[in-house]
Homo-oligomer: A and B are copies of this chain.
Amino acid sequence: MTLTLEDCRARDAADPLRPLRDLFTLPAGLIYLDGNSLGPLPRATPARVAKAVEQEWGEGLIRSWNDAGWFELPRRVGDRIAGWIGAGAGEVVATDTTSVNLYKVLSAALSIQAQDAPARRVVLSERSNFPTDLYIAQALCEERGMVLQLLDDAGDLGAALTADVAVLLLTHVNYRTGAMHDMAAVTRQAHEAGALAIWDLAHSAGAVPVDLHGAGADFAVGCGYKYLNGGPGCPAFAWVHPRHADRFRQPLAGWWGHAAPFEFTPQYRPAPGIGRYLCGTQPVLSLVALDCGLDTLEAARPPGGMPALRAKSLALTDLFIALVEARCGDAGFTLVTPREHARRGSQVCLSRPAGSYAMVQALIARGVVGDFRGPNILRFGFTPLYIGFEDVWHAVDRLRQVLDTGEWQRPEFNRRQAVT
């Protein structure tokens, strides 16, 4: 295990992914360990967005729906995402938000089960799932007369997958802990119990290997602005296994999901396949930025693609864990993220009985951007596209400084902001 700054530098020098960091503009001196919340700006994005604004919108105007391919963007970008999640061409759309897409796919899953297995009345998830997933599930369960059952411990999944469960709704990599489910094993478990499996890939797409077809998953949604580097609030995505895609309308049956939207007929006729998971007109500028974000991932294909990204991600998180334990072992941190590689996403979370929020703020003041997740978690994301081994060394070094100086106890680091 590398534990000196010199060793870290040597590992960066030997890293075939290292040149990819030049695809991003990162503020000088900043160590950005929050790409799991908002990926940084790709260097090519400003010019591409400016082209969309000035040429496509400014000069092409309405003609750009055809001439600049705006209308096809959700499917074209969706096809690009498909390659990173084990989905096929024509099976993914980039559109709307994760929450809205979750509503669509959970609606569809419930409609399927209402027909195939009407006695099943339970949607099963985890209490630690990202809240919006639970909120959307609560709303839909209320609407459909279903029950949302939340597990406190993922280990209880087997016992909880009873004959009552219609749908299992899980996030692949937990946003708070970084713990990762075995998608293939859990999906198999769900199917054996007669449930459909929906996966939220918000912290997975572009971050860890995902093979939706290999796992036999039923539905998936995910986020564009985290590891896909698509920019603040850019569209999310939805995937539906082809075996389900044509079975049901989803209730957000807007005109973009119509088989022939520009016939302007009063009767809805759903587009075949994933097309019906589109709804309204999409934010072109943000979709164009997402397209640029995907270019940065594509650039990782020659040096090894997802296996290389994953190997480096694990090396980075291993190093961070080892350095924290070696250098901050006295600070009362507990490692929240699983040590086992197969159960770890691309982030490391530490907890501490008190002071976690302030320590995150003090670290930010020292140029290490992670984030806080209540009640007591310091969260650090490690994106192998632009984070190096030396960055990890400095991040822990600055954490040591924050501890040594005690500066995290200053009042200014305890003032909560609207968005944490």
B50 engages A37 (CB within 8 Å) = no
One of B62, B263, B373 near A264 (C-beta < 8 A): B373
B252 engages A103 (CB within 8 Å) = yes
The residue in chain B whose Cβ has the minimal distance to the Cβ of A143 is: B251
A112 contacts B by Cβ under 8 Å: no
Chain B residues with CB under 8 Å of A121's CB are: none
A98 contacts B by Cβ under 8 Å: yes
Known: A231-B53, A252-B99. A62 touches B281 (CB 8 A): no
Chain B residues with CB under 8 Å of A115's CB are: none
Cβ contacts A136-162/B at 8 Å (1 or 0 each): 101110010000001000000000000
A54 engages B71 (CB within 8 Å) = no
A272 contacts B by Cβ under 8 Å: no
A275 contacts B by Cβ under 8 Å: no
One of B56, B58, B264, B282 near A25 (C-beta < 8 A): B58
| Stretch in contact with the other chain, from A233-241, A296-304, A342-350 | A233-241
Interface residues of A in 37-79 (CB under 8 A from B): 37-38, 40-41, 45-46, 49-50, 52-54, 56-59, 61-66, 70-72
Chain B residues with CB under 8 Å of A132's CB are: 254-255, 280
One of B134, B236, B257 near A268 (C-beta < 8 A): B134
Which residue, of A62, A134, A231, A279, has the highest number of chain B Cβ atoms within 10 A? A62
A225 contacts B by Cβ under 8 Å: yes
The residue in chain B whose Cβ has the minimal distance to the Cβ of A37 is: B62
A417 contacts B by Cβ under 8 Å: yes
> Complex Cα distance A164/B124, Å?
38
| Stretch in contact with the other chain, from A84-92, A191-199, A283-291, A310-318 | A283-291
Closest Cβ of chain B: how far from A60's Cβ, in Å? 9
A96 contacts B by Cβ under 8 Å: yes
Chain B residues with CB under 8 Å of A283's CB are: 232-235, 283, 285-286
> Complex Cα distance A237/B285, Å?
18
Closest Cβ of chain B: how far from A221's Cβ, in Å? 10
The residue in chain B whose Cβ has the minimal distance to the Cβ of A370 is: B62
A258 contacts B by Cβ under 8 Å: yes
Chain B residues with CB under 8 Å of A165's CB are: none
A391 contacts B by Cβ under 8 Å: no
A57 engages B231 (CB within 8 Å) = yes
Chain B residues with CB under 8 Å of A374's CB are: 262-264
Chain B residues with CB under 8 Å of A63's CB are: 364, 369
> Complex Cα distance A289/B265, Å?
31
B251 engages A140 (CB within 8 Å) = yes
Closest Cβ of chain B: how far from A145's Cβ, in Å? 12
A418 contacts B by Cβ under 8 Å: yes
The residue in chain B whose Cβ has the minimal distance to the Cβ of A265 is: B131
Chain B residues with CB under 8 Å of A256's CB are: 99
> Complex Cα distance A255/B236, Å?
15
Chain B residues with CB under 8 Å of A251's CB are: 103, 139-140, 143
Chain B residues with CB under 8 Å of A369's CB are: 61-63
The residue in chain B whose Cβ has the minimal distance to the Cβ of A59 is: B27
Q: Which 9 A-B pairs have the closest CB atoms?
A: A97-B280, A99-B254, A283-B286, A99-B280, A232-B284, A41-B58, A132-B255, A65-B419, A283-B283
Supply 9 A–B pairs (Cβ within 8 Å), ascending by A. A40-B58, A46-B50, A52-B232, A62-B371, A98-B280, A100-B279, A134-B267, A233-B287, A235-B283
